[in-house]
Amino acid sequence: MKPLVPCRDCRRPILWTITEAGKRLAVDPEPDPDGNTAVHRDGTGAVRSRRPSDELPLCGWERLHKPHIATCPHRTQQLALPAGVTRLADYRRKRPR
């Protein structure tokens, strides 16, 4: 397993993964059954992550983890809206793709 690095904000250990899109995603190092990110190590030793779906559910070699941004105390405080502020994204219409 790659060495864990501390989060810049909360100093908790995190594990960096590479998503299917080739981007980096920080996840909590311990598996969590409530997580939404499937994590596994590929043949080259890289730690990969993806979102399980109905078409491609969790495989036997993958474990569910939570993205660190969902559990980082510093980020969750930052994401909280002040009183009287409305998040416009909640009211925007979804465009068909």
Give the pLDDT of residue 2. 60
Per-residue pLDDT for 1 more than 60?
no
Output 65 or 82, whichever has higher pLDDT.
65
Q: State the Cα–Cα distance between residues 65 and 28, nearest whole angstrom.
A: 6
Per-residue pLDDT, 79: 61
Quick one: what percent of the chain has pLDDT higher than 90? Answer: 67
What is residue 27's predicted lDDT score, i.e. its pLDDT? 97
**Which three-class secondary structure string do you get for the chain?**
CCCCEECCCCCCEEEEEECCCCCEEEECCCCCCCCCEEEEECCCCCEEEECCCCCCCCCCCCEEECEHHHHCHHHHHHHCCCCCCCCHHHCCCCCCC
| pLDDT tens track for 9-30 | 899 999 999 999 999 999 999 9
